[in-house]
Amino acid sequence: MADNKRKNSSKLLLMAMGGIVGAVAGFLMMKYLVNSDSNASGGEKLLNAFVILISLTVTYFLGIIIHEAGHLVMGLLTGYKFVSFRIGSYILVRQNGKFAIRRFAVAGTAGQCLMTHDIVEKDEDIPYFWYNFGGVLFNLVSAALLGLVYLNTSSRLLATYSVIGMFVYLYLGIMNILPLKKFGLANDGSNILECYRDPGVRRLILDVLIINAEQSQGKTLDSMPDELFEIRDGDDSISAVSIKLFRAARELERGNYESAKAIYREILEKKDLVELLVKETQCELMFCCIMTGEPAKVIDELYDDELQKYIQRSAKFLLSRQRLMYAYYYIYKQDKVNTDKVYNLALDMAKQNYNLGDAKAEMGIIEHIKENY
């Protein structure tokens, strides 16, 4: 019941904020279409409406780029190093001193700029504010600049675009600075608030960034030092959950499926877990249940319609989904045709995977299943 209330609250909040942007667009259409030159033809008014809608789409896309660029610039200015920059499903990564463009997406996110930092000895000395706030800062500055353009232009077209851009950028800034963890949404505001309240969270976030950076360069979780996976007892922050997921994935690399299963079940007991992490954890728990010979009833209950839809959406970019479905068809269903299809797809995905360490680990698990089950 509580989970459903959180999901509904997050949906209502997003709808409300999106409705504000829609209302602005509607106002502009009324102002520049209904109240525009009475001699304008229906075709001209329709063209104006089309221009406004296109402007909304383009401005939103530019707003995402501006937001992620803010993270990048402010991160670089505070000692962080570039790892990857993603807009939509296209991700720019730097590996072995060279830049490459790959395909990758995360459900519920339109972009992401990931960076890393050198080890910092004291938790309280770890920089966190400007890297997390950078995206919001750039959106708000962009909105302010467009506001100045609106106040100083005599062009109706430029004024219209400026108002659209101003409200879109304000929307992106507000939605990212409000701490929305209680609505089941992880954002910059949530990270800043948790880091401000607890310097220990800064350490966890830094560890998550370092682990991701090491993976992108080809290291597996099993080859990384134990210190990166340490969590204080009772820590229930978003970053602590992320570290637990890395811990469990590390156990998968080692073939310790029972240990991993216990971690995933512990994570799912958390009441205010972000929805994306819920689905990811359910997928991995299902994999562990298959590998440890859980009864069919347990596996089928996990593999419900909702999880099946999530798997279908995420399978295009996540090699771990292919690993899950390989185990599902090979061990659980004993379906050779689909097993072979998934295996060949996994091979192709591994070659194009932006995360070299993850690809190595996932294919290692798949090959282990192929050879030993």
Q: What is the DSSP letter of 81?
A: E
Cα 276 to Cα 371: distance, rounded to the nearest angstrom: 32
Has this prediction a pTM greater than 0.95? no
Which 3 state secondary structure label does DSSP give 152? helix
Cα 202 to Cα 192: distance, rounded to the nearest angstrom: 9
pLDDT of residue 16: 61
Query: What tens digit of pLDDT does each residue of 315-358 get?
Result: 999 999 999 999 999 999 999 999 999 999 999 999 989 999 99
Phi/psi at 171 (5° precision) = -60, -50
Average pLDDT over residues 297-309: 96
Q: Which pair of structure tokens corresponds to residue 26? A: 């509607």
> 361 near 221, Cβ under 8 Å?
yes
Residue 53 CA to chain centroid, in angstroms? 26
> 194 near 182, Cβ under 8 Å?
no
Query: What tens digit of pLDDT does each residue of 155-192 get?
Result: 877 887 888 888 889 989 998 998 876 545 578 998 99
